[in-house]
Amino acid sequence: MSSRPKLIATDLDGTIVAHYGAISQRTINVFHKAHDLGIKIFFVTGRPPRWMPEIKEAFGIGSAICGNGAMIYDLHNDKVLEEWLISVDAQLETVAKLREAIPQISFAVESHNYFHREKAYIPRWDVGMDNVGVDSIEEIMKSPALKLLARCSNQEYSSDEMLVIARASVGEIVTVTHSNPHESLLEISAHGVSKGATLAKMAGRLGIDAADCVSFGDNPNDFSMLQWCGRSYAMADGHPEGKLHAKDVAPAHTDDGVAVILEKLLQLPA
């Protein structure tokens, strides 16, 4: 394509946010340049809103799709605009089927403002938010949820292995993905909800075709977005299957890969 994109969609962690939490000034600068050119910016992430203040502080621009596509979030006014949640019935059915398929599995459930877990579920990032836990997650499944999290705390299965089992077991009930191959952790959304589906919805509302969108991502929860966009880049240091879903590969996120590509794309004519 010989013209610059009209919409940029990027994952955060492992894509423009380093695993130690830093965002380079080079990355911030190129996104501001894109914004000044009138290009729409979407931060498309598995994160819940409570993990977004650092993104607002770093960039001060852009729109946010959180929860792997389950939520449109007003980054600048801290307001949930739309959300597509997992019904209580779907939560209960999913948990029951996954317990059969992976007996050692444990669960947590989250919405935009809470995180609850089973005692057997060992949290990595929300430590302290729910430091007691319940014996069985079904005890607190009383309302629709943004996301279910399913973990093998003994790491007997990798995230990739869990994903294959879970999709075969509950793929007709919910959408299952993961964002970290090293965590033995699945992320579960309502059926049909994904980063790609919600990005397509938002682009459509703006009158922007897939051909005029570019996206960046590093893990399976990004693959739907990489597939949908006319231009897309899997991170060179991301999941090895990323290049099968993207149109191209960007340099490693530790080498400012997204900024490297965007600096070139922004030189193209409108």
Q: Could you tell me the residue ranges of all domains in the chain?
A: 7-83+194-265, 88-190
CATH architecture designation of domain 88-190: 2-Layer Sandwich (3.30)
What parts of the chain have a pLDDT lower than 50?
Answer: none
The pLDDT, as a whole number, for residue 130 is 65
Which CATH number, 3.40.50.150, 3.40.50.1000, 1.10.10.10, 2.30.110.10, labels domain 7-83+194-265? 3.40.50.1000
| Strand order, beta sheet including 106-111 | 114-117, 106-111, 147-151, 185-190, 174-177
**Coil, strand or helix at 262:** helix
* Residue 112, pLDDT score: 74
Encoded tokens for 203: 């682009």
Q: How far apart are CA 224 and CA 244, in angstroms?
A: 11
At residue 249, what are phi and psi to the nearest 5 degrees? -125, 135
pLDDT digits (tens, 9 = 90+) for 226-259: 999 999 999 999 999 999 999 999 999 999 999 9
Q: Residue 129: what pLDDT?
A: 67
- Give the pLDDT of residue 91: 98
Task: Name the pTM for this structure.
Answer: 0.96
The pLDDT of residue 11 is 98
